[in-house]
Structure 1
Amino acid sequence: MTLSSELWDRGGAPVYDQIVRHPFITGLTDGTLDHDAFRYFIVQDSHYLRSYSRALTLIAGRALDEDAVSMFALHAANAIAVERSLHTSLLGSLGLTEADVDAAGSGPTTTAYMSYLTAVCATGTYAEAVAAVLPCYWIYRDVGRELLKRSSPDPLYRQWIETYGSDEFDAVVESVLAVTDGLDVSASERERCHRHFSTTCRYEWMFWDAAYHKLDWPVG
């Protein structure tokens, strides 16, 4: 069995099943999700993408071959491009500005997720770093496919859902899976990869859940 298949079977599939049943996702597709929850999600996703780009830059600097260096560096640049595109499309539809995003700051779950990713990418092995960032690629792609199947009666949510599903992003995910399966890892390193992959899968669920509940810092 490939490393990516092991990671998904042990840590990805159980969490993914809970994500697609989460009330944030079902609310998107049946149109009942509170628009304030969606605003929260978009603001926090903007903060997340900025940090995710930096994490990918760290991986690019540690990659073991030139193709992987180029790939992760390109993905880092693309994450910033997506974040900027967000500002010129959905933010306006939501009545938000870039200043609103900056003023809102990073919420508790976003901060924890970003901090964990950065720490693994900076201090773990190259293989551990790849395993840690993989859920964002993989779950994002698969949730997107599910959302496209369901669509939404809400025009705002439908507009966002329709940004998913490009063949280009599918190719991006497959390229990262190929890198994952090409990693030469020891038994102990493999277990650490499992731990990091499972943890960031949980953070993916927590990210949706934080948006649904509009989670804020309890003090301050």
Structure 2
Amino acid sequence: MARAQALWEACQDLVQICEAHPFVRGIASGILPRERFAFYIGQDAFFLEAFARAYALALAKAPDRDTMAAFRKLLGRVFEELAMHQGYAARWGVDLTPAPAPATRTYTDFLLRVAALEPVGHIVAAMTPCMRLYAHLGQTLRPHTHPESLYREWVETYASDDFEALARQLEELLDRLPGEEEAQHILYRTAMELEVRFFDAAWDNENA
């Protein structure tokens, strides 16, 4: 089994928690309170800026031009994602420069620490879970998303063939770039655990 697939399979317990999470299910049904989603979008904008910086550091450590080009494409996609968030901000008055919640800060600190200190094969192990999880959630939720859900755009974005291709590109890098197996397992699972905490923070936001 390819490395990326093996790491994903090893985290199915956390994937199932995300699938069943009330925040995620509320996106599909459309009953998620708008305040919770607005909080999430602001926190995600903060997270995505750190994600972009991690890609930039990975690009700087890339061993060859093909890998550099792959990271450049993935980095550009983050800014497209931020543009979607700007659309929500314009429509709903979302603050895209909030103070980071503890779960957000923990996740971004983890990513940037790995990107700064670890080899590139370990960086992709820490970054792949976000991409694969969101592609999976989008594809899983799409058939069950209410046509009138306020959050259908979110589902369609992550269910798209384009986003799936980006997730696969990062997984291909994870399969190809060298790294210590146990370290990659720890980094991948840590990122998945932080994804769960990110959804928890959005759902439990006391201002929602």
* TM-score between the two structures when normalised by the length of structure 2: 0.92
1:209 aligned residue: 200
**Alignment pair present for 1:198 and 2:189:** yes
Alignment of 1:179-190 (within 5 A): 179-185=173-179, 189-190=180-181
Letter in 2 for 1:157: Y
2:170 aligned residue: 176
Larger mean CA deviation between 174-183 and 51-60 belongs to: 174-183
Closer/same/farther in 2, CA of residues 171 and 101 from structure 1, 3 Å limit: closer
Please give the secondary structure, in 1, of the residue aligned with 2:13. helix
CA RMSD of aligned residues (A): 1.7
- Which residue, 93, 96, 103 being the options, matches 1:95? 93
2:101 aligned residue: 107
Distance 2:206 2:113 in 1: 23
1:37 aligned residue: 36
1:47 aligned residue: 46
1:8 aligned residue: 8
Distance 2:30 2:80 in 1: 28
Larger mean CA deviation between 198-207 and 159-168 belongs to: 159-168
Closer/same/farther in 2, CA of residues 69 and 80 from structure 1, 3 Å limit: same
1:129 aligned residue: 123
* TM-score between the two structures when normalised by the length of structure 1: 0.88
Larger mean CA deviation between 57-66 and 192-201 belongs to: 57-66
Larger mean CA deviation between 1-10 and 156-165 belongs to: 156-165
Distance 2:77 2:186 in 1: 27
Q: Which runs of 4+ in 1 moved over 4 A?
A: none
**Alignment pair present for 1:162 and 2:156:** yes
How many residues end up aligned between the 2 structures? 207
Letter in 2 for 1:191: E
List per-residue Cα deviations over 1:9-30 (Å, max 9, x = no partner): 22x2111111000011112222
Letter in 1 for 2:197: M
Distance 1:148 1:91 in 2: 23
Cα distance, 1:215 vs structure 2 = 6.1
1:18 aligned residue: 17
Distance 1:150 1:41 in 2: 21
CA contact (8 A) 1:90 1:160 kept: no
Q: Point out where structure 2 has 5 or more consecutive residues left out of the alignment.
A: none
Larger mean CA deviation between 128-137 and 168-177 belongs to: 168-177
Closer/same/farther in 2, CA of residues 21 and 161 from structure 1, 3 Å limit: same
CA contact (8 A) 1:148 1:164 kept: no
List per-residue Cα deviations over 1:166-207 (Å, max 9, x = no partner): 22221111122112112334xxx1100000000001111111
Larger Rg: 1
List per-residue Cα deviations over 1:109-154 (Å, max 9, x = no partner): 1111000000011101221111000101110110111121211354
Distance 1:117 1:101 in 2: 20
CA contact (8 A) 2:4 2:171 kept: yes
